[in-house]
Amino acid sequence: MIPTLEWLPSGVNFLDQTKLPLEETYVLATDYKEVARVIRDMIVRGAMAIGVSGAMGVALGIERSTASTLPALTAEVALICDTLASTRPTAVNLFWGIGKVRDLYNQLAAAQTSIPEIKSQVVTLARRMYDEDIAACKQLGAFGAELLPQKGTVLTHCNAGALAACGYGSALGVIRAAVERGHEIDVLADETRPYLQGARLTAWELMKDGIPTTVLCDNMSAHLMSKGRIQAVIVGADRVAANGDTANKIGTYGVAILAKEHGIPFYVAAPWATVDLATAHGGLIPIEQRDEREVTHSNGKQMTPTGVGIENPAFDVTPARYIAGIITERGVLRSPFEASIAALAQQPSPELVPA
């Protein structure tokens, strides 16, 4: 299992994804502010991983608090949650993770629970969310595996793998599950400029698992699709709106259009926590803008003329009409997505067996 993040008695330990694939080093966050920095600086990244990191950040903040009264602790919890929530705007999992621990805190505080008991319960919840994340990935992987070809090439964009979750992954979880069930699959990983999650992270983790992987520059998939070299596309998601429009790493939208043009199914794999019923359509999803330097520089070397204009939106939105299916741990959603999402939302969440 790839140790993306781990709750330890000394704090939350993160595999430093900025250093991969060349170095496997860790950053230990011993307070919530450090967890916020780790999320903002993308030491941990990927919607599911930052969701659980947000939950652990709140739990760590509460556990380490020296407040001696509930009103004082409640004021601190508000600050902790705001700090963590200000780190990255697009992946709804972050707000879901923070909200789950905050809701438990509010419930316990309203019942005048003792501070030591509150500390113990919020830590237990955050750690359980870690186990449930892996279980959700395995369950959605099992649903999605059947959708992938028995033998063929699957394109993915960005990293929606174990590194983007607590383990196993969403899009890569589906690929892993298919391979475990005997499918002969090889993977094309878009390099995913400018942050290179595909080239650095997807390639690294799939090679560790012995899954045949080839890295492509982002502008090569149309050509390969036209030559019949790609049988399916699968990506993760940072936020799925109530109508199925899906935000994911910048470049995903283009890949979806290309897949449609070539008659190739385009799947999204994401846990239910990524579905945002409060956001009606993709146009309402906030898109993170990141530092220009990610575009202007590569490995510390300037690649563009000084002073040229730069765009760096970190995500785009794929309209639901391009999506063949959204694979969740509750089942596979199909078009019309507004109706299928609303129907699945009514069902009780399944009992997931922690890994």
Active-site residues, by number, are 238
- Cα separation of 90 and 110, whole Å? 31
Candidates 11, 57, 89, 236; binder of ligand MRU (CB under 6 A) is: 236
- The answer to the question of residue 206 lying near ligand MRU (CB under 6 A) is no
Q: Cβ closer to ligand MRU: 122 or 166?
A: 166
Does residue 148 sit in helix, strand or coil?
Answer: coil
Q: Cβ closer to ligand MRU: 104 or 314?
A: 314
Residue 228 Cβ, how far from ligand MRU at the closest point, in Å? 26
Q: Cβ closer to ligand MRU: 76 or 218?
A: 218
Does residue 177 sit in helix, strand or coil?
Answer: helix
CA angle 204, 190, 282 (to 5 degrees): 115
For the chain, the maximum distance between any two Cα atoms, rounded to a whole number of angstroms, is 67
- The answer to the question of residue 167 lying near ligand MRU (CB under 6 A) is no
How many alpha carbons lie under 13 Å from residue 159 in its C-beta half-sphere? 32
Identity of the residue numbered 331: G
Q: Cβ closer to ligand MRU: 126 or 314?
A: 314
Q: Residue 62, Cβ neighbours under 10 Å: how many?
A: 26
- The answer to the question of residue 188 lying near ligand MRU (CB under 6 A) is no
- The answer to the question of residue 314 lying near ligand MRU (CB under 6 A) is yes
Number of residues that bind ligand MRU (CB under 6 A): 17
Burial class (CB in 10 A: 0-12, 13-18, 19+), 43: buried
- The answer to the question of residue 239 lying near ligand MRU (CB under 6 A) is no
Closest CA to 27 of 45, 44, 13: 13
Q: Cβ closer to ligand MRU: 61 or 271?
A: 271
Candidates 170, 213, 243, 246; binder of ligand MRU (CB under 6 A) is: 170
- The answer to the question of residue 237 lying near ligand MRU (CB under 6 A) is yes
- Residue 64 dihedral angles phi and psi, to the nearest 5°: -90, -5
- Cα separation of 247 and 158, whole Å? 12
Q: Cβ closer to ligand MRU: 62 or 327?
A: 327
- Cα separation of 141 and 100, whole Å? 24
| Closest-approach residue to ligand MRU (CB) | 236
- Region of 203 please: left (phi>0), alpha (psi -120 to 50) or beta: alpha
Site string for ligand MRU, 72-111 (x = CB under 6 A): -------------------x--------------------
Candidates 4, 32, 35, 45; binder of ligand MRU (CB under 6 A) is: 45
Site of interaction with ligand MRU (CB under 6 A): 45-48, 91, 158, 160, 164-165, 170, 197, 236-238, 248-249, 314
